[in-house]
Structure 1
Amino acid sequence: MLVKLENEELTVLLNTKGAELTSVKDNKEHEYIWQADSKFWGRHAPVLFPIVGRLKDDFYLLHGNKYSMGQHGFARDNEFEALEKNDNSVLFELSENDETMSMYPYKFSLKIKYTLSNKTLSVDYIVKNNDTKLMYYSIGAHPAFNLSYNMENYKITINDGGSYKHIPLNKSLSDFEDTDELNANEPIRLNREFFKDDAKIIDTSDNSINSFVLSNDKDDYKIKVNAFNCKYTGIWSTYPKDGSFVCIEPWWGIADTTSHNHEINTKVGINELMPTKSNDYKLNIEFI
């Protein structure tokens, strides 16, 4: 089911399946969000939970038990309940069910609140441990933004510049033994070859706020993603397919490392949550 938020500037559509952002249009009908053409990539902006990226061999170990889970977890494929709704905000919630318990043996609550104000959509993720044992999890965003022109016309500006540790992917796993530096002192010019080796993942843990501005040479449309205390950020598009989108993905977690021993408690970037406790994660997207 689609849920609509709107004001004088923007109309936003969200799907209760996955609590996924599916459309953002301005009053000139300009669409900012990728429209999920399955020839290239059939999603818009999936929520990544309770893992980000891929598990090594698609399984993890917890207290001696083996659990299998696909890339990015199960939240994106589950139906959320819309708890509260008005013209400018909606609160979704996902809790455990029989299927999730077979993959992830926790009672939990994942609430996601979207709030529209002027040209900004704020997103709040609230993770709560409703179980009696320590809970391990990751969470992340994966919004895909429409490209109206050839990719070569676009650039991404990261914060006020600087150099960031780049963690390459090796068969979808994080290769911390082959890191290098991504120089962002100048805006990063995009092209298809930029994604030849999959997503560009950078360590953004040193900053309390990370800002990414997607702009182009042809018009004044811009998108600014502001993420708060995110550990890593992925930048991704299709290769070699010529998908007309780019994803800017704030993550509080990361794919398993190439040398991981499958134990979830030793997973790089994993978060811990005590019983009855909750953690909040925030980002906002400015559609300029």
Structure 2
Amino acid sequence: MIHTLENEHCRVQVNTRGAELTSFVHLGEDGELEYIWQADPAYWGRHAPVLFPVVGRLPDNQYRYQGQTYEMGQHGFARDREFALLHRSEFELTFELRDDAASRALYPFGFALRISYRLAGSTLTVGWEVENPDSAELLFSIGAHPAFRCPLLPGETFDDYEFVFDHSVSLDRHLLENGLFSGKTAPLLHQETVLPLSYELFAQDALVFQHFDFTSLTMRSRRSGHSVRARFEGFPYLGLWTAGPGAEFVCIEPWHGLAGSVGAPVELADKQGIMSLNTGQQFITSYSLTIA
């Protein structure tokens, strides 16, 4: 089921399946401009899934916990589950997913995952709350995967766009092999504020950064000036990705978690990026998207 938020500047739509953002439209004098990728299955059939309780791929799609081996697909299961609408007001929506028998077959933990969307002006704030209602420790990761149309306007190309950092950065990318970290890095930027987009940039899979010092990133057209800025203070990991030549989107993905590393499945508690909550504890964070 689709739920809608709208003000004089923007219209937002969220699906209860996965509590997934499916549309973020700017309402301007020149008409409507959609910023979210519309999930063409020829390239990638999703819009902006929430990644939970793992981020990325696991070796052999498996992990170990308390002597047992469990199977879980890439990015976890929350993106494919139906969430309950917990709260609705004029400019805010909150959805909730709780553990059940189906989730415990993949992931033997009790949890409550709440995802909220709050629209103010041209900014959408996405909030996450993970709660441990169980008597055992909760182990999890969570991440964002919003895909933005690129190009946004007819006559533009993917190469007309660039990423703009909030200050000069020096970055190494962490390299992937079949979606798993190889342990290798490669230099990408040295004291620069702009990264021009090209499909060649993603020829070796996603760009992944760890423990960086910037808190926002803007995708911007050099021709039209249209942009979307993602703000993600406090997030330790970031992925940038597109599906390859011809895919007219790019993802800006702030994460609290990472894919697994090349090798055999590991204990979930030992996986890089895994967080833990004791009984009754909550993890609360948010990021925001501003369109122009």
Range class of TM-score, shorter chain: over 0.9
Q: What do the CA deviations read for 1:225-269 (whole angstroms, capped 9, x no partner)?
A: 000211110000012x41100000000000001146511111011
1:43 equivalent among 35, 42, 46: 46
- 1:51 corresponds to which letter in structure 2? V
**Match for residue 34 of structure 1?**
37
Q: What do the CA deviations read for 1:45-96 (whole angstroms, capped 9, x no partner)?
A: 0000000000111010001011100000001000001111122000000001
**Match for residue 126 of structure 1?**
129
- 2:291 corresponds to which letter in structure 1? F
In the TM superposition, 1:2-13 aligns within 5 A as 2-13=2-13
2:188 equivalent among 182, 186, 198: 182
In the TM superposition, 1:229-268 aligns within 5 A as 229-239=234-244, 241-259=245-263, 261-268=265-272
- Note if 1:77 corresponds to 2:83: no
- 2:193 corresponds to which letter in structure 1? E
**Unaligned 5+ runs, structure 2:** none
Cα offset, 1:206, TM superposition: 4.5
Work out the CA distance in 2 between the residues paired with 1:259 and 1:163.
29
**Unaligned 5+ runs, structure 1:** none
Coordinate RMSD, CA, aligned = 1.2
Contact 1:228 1:281 in 2 (8 A): no
Work out the CA distance in 2 between the residues paired with 1:224 and 1:84.
27
- SS class of match (1:220): coil
Cα 1:198–1:264 shift into 2, 3 Å: same
- Note if 1:219 corresponds to 2:221: no
**Match for residue 22 of structure 2?**
22
Runs of 4+ with >4 A deviation: none
Contact 2:62 2:265 in 1 (8 A): no
TM-score, length of structure 2 as denominator length: 0.94
Work out the CA distance in 1 between the residues paired with 2:83 and 2:180.
29
- SS class of match (1:258): coil
- SS class of match (2:32): coil
Cα offset, 1:181, TM superposition: 2.6
Contact 2:212 2:237 in 1 (8 A): no
1:200 equivalent among 204, 207, 211: 207
Percent of residue pairs bearing the same amino acid type: 37
In the TM superposition, 1:87-98 aligns within 5 A as 87-98=90-101
Work out the CA distance in 2 between the residues paired with 1:139 and 1:258.
21
1:104 equivalent among 93, 107, 110: 107
Cα 1:166–1:260 shift into 2, 3 Å: farther
Cα offset, 1:107, TM superposition: 1.1
- Note if 1:270 corresponds to 2:270: no
Work out the CA distance in 2 between the residues paired with 1:39 and 1:3.
26
Cα offset, 1:281, TM superposition: 1.6
Work out the CA distance in 1 between the residues paired with 2:56 and 2:256.
11
Q: How many residues are aligned here?
A: 284
Work out the CA distance in 1 between the residues paired with 2:68 and 2:279.
20
- SS class of match (2:34): coil
- Note if 1:162 corresponds to 2:169: yes
